[in-house]
Chains A and B, each alone.
Chain A
Amino acid sequence: MSEATIKPRIEKAPLGERMIEKLPVVLVPALAMLGLIAVGNPATWLTLTVAGLAMGLMIFIMASGLTVVFGLMDVINFGHGAFISVGAFVGFTVLIWLGGWTSSPSVFLNLSAVFMAILVAMLATALMGYAFERVIVMPVYGEHLKQILVTMGGLIVAQQLIYVFWGPDEMHVARPESLQGSFVLGEAAVEKYRLVAVGIGVVLFVAMRYVLKSTRIGLLVRAGVENGEMVEALGYRVRRLFLMVFMAGSALAGLGGVMWGLYQETITAHMGQEIMVLVFIVVIIGGLGSVEGCFIGALLVGLLSNYTAFLAPKVALVSTIGLMVIILMWRPQGLYPVVKAK
């Protein structure tokens, strides 16, 4: 047969449609601009913006695993917050062991201590993710109602186990020497740790995008999100892929837990459950299953929370709910609805 019989059809959406497609990306700078107008003072605005980005990126780290897990197997883990808490407690325990490193003036030793804490925490939460998936999630695949209930039960048990292992009190750890204090940029003070958090968040987002776009595993995950059955029909075991993603997501939640803990310097067994509220809002805003949407949603929520915390502290959480409502009225499936076959 010849080329003539099958005319190549280049289906490019009209310009206007493509603009709307890209619109969510514009939302972040737009919100930042609005923030500048509302806050007025550029120095304060810069401080708030960096804080907002840091918070947003930490939430992104914690939320990304949840959203991919949902996309791949239609599983929503209400116990995801447990990994955040456990990660924080394990990380803090390591930091206490390495007290000599964290209190030393050496930047290298400080960062090594944080690195070790993150590593051990991620390892612990990945293993916990393995156990959680096998024991709690696997028996209830495909049954949403039971899934919600059982993973909630897992959260309760995990929180109680934190009490058993670490006692009922909250835990305090000061940030390592070199991560305390702020840089002064003109009139604005920017906390050092927030910049580190932004750095880690950006690196992680870039890495995640690379993995999803350019590795075979990433391709499989994206294919699986769209049509898991077809991935199986091509000869891949989606269940095993899912377990890996679940563990990775849990490890990321653990990482987020350490970072959030260092940000607050105080952690409780309930912290994960509290952060999950923001995580859910972010995941809903972004579109369940979409990593890009999750990223933009997280930045929006981070920025908005910090601006409103400055302008009207009492309505910070309510403002994020408002954001969610507005976004859902505009796009009922979130910013980037995930296309599902079937």
Chain B
Amino acid sequence: MSEPLLQLSGVHTHIGPYHILQGVDLTVPKGGVSVLLGRNGAGKSTTLRTIMGLWTASSGSITFQGRDITRMETPAISRSGIAFVPENMGIFTDLTVAENMTLAATKGPIDPKRLAWIQELFPPVRTFWNSSAGTLSGGQKQMLAVSRAIVESRVLILIDEPTKGLAPAIINAMTDALKELKETDTTILLVEQNFAMASSIGDTVAVMDDGRIIHDGDMAEMVADKELQERLMGLSLEAHQ
């Protein structure tokens, strides 16, 4: 793997009285898909939110493209090239699909060629272009959320459990789209609980538990090592299946 794009070292995050991240060290290399696994409450979503500046790290540092972004405000972090698809998708249900997309394009009007490509990846974004986003189904909302993140080219996309609660057919569609997205020069940091999906597109993998990273390495290595899977799966995926 190449140079690190994003690096977290010793990140601690407190939410109110709770100490959620307890020294997270995580390196996301440039290019490809990095997967963050872990059971519910391990701190995966908090890690993404801390990177985005939606929670502020109480100690430790986060560097992105060599720049310290630990204390930067969310809008500045976003404009430095990081897009975020939160767990709840963050769709503006009061707005139409088109308006959701327009707001996501911060650099000017949406590039028609790019839009055509996105609509190819996620046909509902075309079908329901002028519908209120509130009327979309869960899977369609998820597609819109990812589309919004890639409406302009981004350096890094943080995606929080894009397959959560979706039907298998839609999970496959989402996986295909992310695979295609991987071919562009965008890096993806994916939080997942679905190991089948994660292993099919992940290049590297890190496993979290109790607010710390307890394993990290290549995905291929983890897929091959049944014993490691057993040990980590038992820990990380017991909540799932």
Contacts and interface: CB of A to CB of B under 8 A. Distances in A.
Contacts of A226: 92-94
A308 B128 CA distance: 48
Interface stretch (B132-140, B183-191, B214-222, B233-241): B132-140
Chain A interface, >50% SS class: loop
Contacts of B61: none
Given A1-B173, A233-B78, A222 B90 contact: no
Contacts of B169: 5-6
B93 A219 contact: no
B75 A219 contact: no
A233 B173 contact: no
B170 to A, nearest CB: 6
A72 B103 CA distance: 16
Contacts of B74: 229, 232-233
Contact of A232 (B75, B127, B135): B75
B10 interface: no
Nearest to A223: B92
B64 interface: no
Contact of A1 (B88, B103, B176): B176
A341 to B, nearest CB: 6
B172 interface: yes
B99 interface: yes
Contact of A234 (B78, B172, B176): B78
B65 interface: no
A227 interface: yes
- Residue among A229, A230, A231 with most chain B CB within 10 A: A230
Given A1-B177, A6-B139, A226-B92, A233 B54 contact: yes
Nearest to B169: A5
B135 A10 contact: yes
Given A6-B124, A237-B73, A339 B78 contact: no
A17 interface: no
Contacts of B205: none
Nearest to B143: A6
Contacts of B137: 9, 11
B123 A219 contact: no
- Residue among B79, B94, B127 with most chain A CB within 10 A: B94
A11 B135 contact: yes
B93 A235 contact: no
Contacts of A5: 169-170, 172-173
B4 interface: no
B104 interface: yes
A229 B84 CA distance: 11
B200 interface: no
Interface string B66-94: 00000001110011000110101010111
Nearest to B96: A219
Given A1-B172, A220-B103, A235-B75, A230 B94 contact: no
Given A11-B135, A232-B54, A232-B75, A219 B90 contact: no
Contacts of B102: 216, 219
- Residue among A5, A222, A237 with most chain B CB within 10 A: A5
Contact of B103 (A6, A223, A237): A223
A65 B169 CA distance: 46
Given A219-B103, A222-B95, A235-B78, A230 B90 contact: yes
Contacts of B84: 233
Given A6-B140, A6-B173, A233 B127 contact: no
